[in-house]
Amino acid sequence: MNADNKTTARHGGRRRGAPPADRRLDRQAVVTAARDLIAQDGYARFSLRVLASTLDVRPAALYNHVRDRDDLLDAVAEWLVAGFELPEDEGDWLSWVRQVARRMRERLREHPHLADVVLSRSAAGPARPALVRGFIERLVRAGVDPAIAHAGWHAVLDIVVGAASQERARGNDQSEVFDSTLQLVAAGLQSAASRPPDGAFVTLLHAHPTVWDG
């Protein structure tokens, strides 16, 4: 009824220029909001436009903090894998490996919608190299050949991701299959580590002059 704020109150109380500094976004806020939105409503329902509306902002505003949709989703995916940490290294190295695998799987299962993001884009996030190094170092410290340890990392990663994909595609729980497959990989690791480098394993042992490059 009073007409003193007719320029500022148009369009739902939002002026045209930049808002006051305490109502501005930053990249962190955008990524966090995207993460929470996907975790709640699922990856399929996610779009930049609904994200913008939950942030009470026009879609174009997001581009001040994020290069594009892919950049944003990479950041969300990275959050999930970056939150994973290797367990303490107690006990024998082989059961430690099994523990790593189970924990990785657990992390994906705790956030199924965010796991969808990771699985659908299999992004090689910048957070992973430290994990690979930590994994290999633990095994090398226990006397395992670096090349075998490296292969072990990939095998573990593959069966964790594979089980998660299967669970996404079909509905049913894949825990038993996962346990069996993990058991198989563990047996391979033990066998390869305890066997002298004969025959079939020469290539494995010498194929990677530098194993620290991811």
Residues at the interface with DNA (CB under 7 A): 7, 10-11, 14-19, 24-26, 46-50, 56-61, 63-65, 68-70
Binding residues for its own copies restricted to 103-122, rule: CB under 8 A: 119-122
In whole angstroms, the minimum distance from the beta carbon of 116 to DNA comes to 15
Question: What is the residue-wise DSSP string for the chain?
Answer: ---TTTTTSHHHH--SSPPPGGG---HHHHHHHHHHHHHHH-STT--HHHHHHHTTS-GGGGGGT-SSHHHHHHHHHHHHHHT--PPP--S-HHHHHHHHHHHHHHHHHHSHHHHHHHHHH----TTHHHHHHHHHHHHHHTT--HHHHHHHHHHHHHHHHHHHHHHHHSSS--HHHHHHHHHHHHHHHHHHHHS-S-GGGHHHHHS-S-----
Q: How far is the CB of 168 from DNA (least distance, A)?
A: 19
Asked if 124 is part of the footprint of its own copies (rule: CB under 8 A), the reply reads: yes
Please state the closest distance from residue 112 (CB atom) to its own copies, in A. Answer: 14
Q: Is 159 exposed, middle or buried (0-12, 13-18, 19+ CB in 10 A)?
A: buried
Closest CB 182 distance from its own copies, rounded Å: 9
In the list its own copies, DNA, none, the entry touching 65 (Cβ below 5 to 8 angstroms by class) is DNA
The set of residues, in sequence order, having a beta carbon less than 8 Å from that of 65 and lying 6+ positions away, is: 25, 26, 27, 29, 30
Residue 204 contacts which entry, its own copies, DNA, none (Cβ below 5-8 A, type-dependent): its own copies
Asked whether position 207 contacts its own copies by CB under 8 A, the answer is: yes
C-beta of 20 vs 209, nearer to its own copies: 209
Q: Which of DNA, its own copies, none sits in contact with 170, Cβ below 5 to 8 A by type?
A: its own copies
| Residue 197 contacts which entry, DNA, its own copies, none (Cβ below 5-8 A, type-dependent) | none
Residue 154 touches its own copies, criterion: CB under 8 A: yes
Residues contributing to the site for its own copies (CB under 8 A): 119-124, 147-148, 150-152, 154-155, 157-159, 161-163, 165-166, 168-170, 176-177, 179-181, 183-192, 195, 200-201, 203-204, 207-208
